[in-house]
Structure 1
């Protein structure tokens, strides 16, 4: 119980800025989850869920009496979405007991699926923006909506094993960095900047894996 109280109350003060340790720790768990995803390890999902639970308490600043009173409803909502979709991803990546460890092989999405992902990203942003604005989310609200919509698609794409999901994360990070800094969530903003580089690296790692798999698949089909 004492540890829980510390986790909720501990703060890092840098100059005039106050950063919650649970924001830092939550993002570290998120980074570890991304690393596990890049290596195609099933433990990435439960690790990510822990980070999501911590960050949910951070982005609902008013509800959890944090020093930062800004509510980012898209950021908070996506943590709940992450927990739900991560449960699906965890199940999907571990449903093959004959292949422990790297339980899923990356593959390219079809052109039709790519088009649907792009349309869903923009349509989701347009749909969610007025909803988040009505609920009092931080401006520019479209950025919060973009991050939420993109996060849903990227997490689902990771669960399906589509290599393109890394590029969706890059699009999320590009918008997320300036939004988080402007809202005063500096730890998350810095982590998003690092994520941007990391997710681009993850894309090329999965792309190389695709190149290795393709000759094998062609040999099997011959």
Structure 2
């Protein structure tokens, strides 16, 4: 049984001499489906995303401890999957709670922009989180030959992704902008670390994120008058 599980864990397809692990491909596909659900403001986006997070944790955590095929350890990528699950459970509960007051076929929530105070808090948390995270990752990965900027980039992906997920749970349109900032760092870092499927999917995410931002911004304007009257579907 253990041998069968190990074979399943290491299942891959060979592309130009590079093994693409099915876990990485499938986990990212779940993540992509979750992003589409988020764009459409559907509650199912959260449980689908959680499945992808669990699968991707095995990808990045496995690389951190075993370093197969010369991959660099991405501690931020591995640890953030755990926080993704926690934050996604909150988002799942929050969106489902709000959706109960709306029509069955209506989007789960009405997006809005974060207030100045909320943005300030997020900025402070981001700065402190990146400083602390990069120091922790540098200590954990002290035995691996990686440039100093590597841990700063990994720390930003870790902190920025968690903040973006929380902002999505709150229904803030700003979360798409946070994801753009994460992708701008994440794509080159993943490529540098030899996580090619994830890097390519991050690039695809980029186009989806821009589209999602436009859709949510329009919805925030179009649906705001109604939400001001009945206060249904607005996350506060």
> Could you tell me the TM-score, scaled by structure 1's length?
0.91
Unaligned residue ranges in structure 2 (runs of 5+):
232-236
The alignment status of 1:22 with 2:23, answered yes or no, reads yes
Q: For the residues of structure 2 that align with 1:153 and 1:68, how far apart are their CA atoms?
A: 30
Flag as ranges the 4+ runs of structure 1 deviating above 6 A: none
**Which residue does 2:125 correspond to in 1?**
120
Distance 1:32 1:68, change over 3 A: farther
Q: For the residues of structure 1 that align with 2:83 and 2:218, how far apart are their CA atoms?
A: 30
**Which residue does 2:56 correspond to in 1?**
55
The alignment status of 1:193 with 2:203, answered yes or no, reads yes
Residue pair 1:78, 1:148 contacting (<8 A) in 2 also: yes
**Which residue does 1:92 correspond to in 2?**
94
Deviation at 1:63, TM superposition (A): 3.9
Pick aligned residue for 1:72 from 70, 74, 81: 74
1:91-122 Cα deviation digits (max 9, x unpaired): 11111423245221111110121122223222
Residue pair 1:7, 1:22 contacting (<8 A) in 2 also: no
Unaligned residue ranges in structure 1 (runs of 5+):
none
| Structure 1 residue matching 2:20: 3-state secondary structure | strand
| Structure 2 residue matching 1:94: 3-state secondary structure | helix
Pick aligned residue for 1:151 from 154, 158, 161: 161
Deviation at 1:16, TM superposition (A): 2.8
| Structure 2 residue matching 1:19: 3-state secondary structure | strand
Residue pair 1:33, 1:44 contacting (<8 A) in 2 also: yes
Deviation at 1:7, TM superposition (A): 4.2
| Structure 1 residue matching 2:13: 3-state secondary structure | strand
The alignment status of 1:103 with 2:113, answered yes or no, reads no
Q: For the residues of structure 2 that align with 1:93 and 1:3, how far apart are their CA atoms?
A: 39
Residue pair 1:19, 1:187 contacting (<8 A) in 2 also: yes
Deviation at 1:65, TM superposition (A): 7.3
Residue pair 2:95, 2:108 contacting (<8 A) in 1 also: yes
